[in-house]
Amino acid sequence: MKDKKLFSRLLALAVAGIWIAVGYKYVSRFFFEGETVSPQNYAASAKEVSLPHKDTFKMETLRRNPFTGNMETPRISTRSATVSYRKTSAERKPIVRAPEMKFPEIEYFGFVKSNNGSSELAMLKINGKMSRLYLNGKSDGITVRKIAKDSVVVQCGKQKKVIGRAGVVQKKPAIAKK
């Protein structure tokens, strides 16, 4: 028991000694009146420092595109001193446009509304295959744009059609614009 008391007192004394040393170092900065360093004293004691020699090199521009493998020939502009490169390729591929999609056969069977009324699910038969699509849903290249009780607006590519309940294309859509 006496050893524990003695150990506790020695430990408290050591901690107090450390805090006193830290406090003295902190406070002595404000009250220090020692020799100050002036520019004349500093210049006299400064030594010559030699810097290491830097290695320099010249970078050349790449003439081969690392991604496509095409070689590029330099094209010098007369207006400025910059050099730009123009791609040279042996073959130029013609632009092939995809033919417009043929509108498939679509039948509209109606729609199902969710319990809270936030989403509608259209039931369509596209090329003989039954599909259930939400608004802006896609299937076989067909996108559902608007859903109503008696008709649905579908889009295939850039073409839009209004499909009625019996699969008839309507001339005037029954869907009011929102």
pTM given for the model: 0.40
Domains identified in the chain and CATH numbers: 59-91 (no CATH), 106-164 (2.30.30)
152-173: pLDDT as tens digits: 999 988 888 898 886 565 555 5
The C-alpha R_g of the chain, in whole angstroms, comes to 42
**DSSP for 143-173?**
EEEEE-SSEEEEEETTEEEEEETTSPBPSS-
Contact 152, 158 (CB under 8 A): no
CA 17 to chain centre: 57
pLDDT tier for residue 178 given thresholds of 50, 70 and 90: very low
Token readout for 168 is: 């008839």
80-90: pLDDT as tens digits: 555 555 555 55
- Per DSSP, the three-state class of 120 is strand
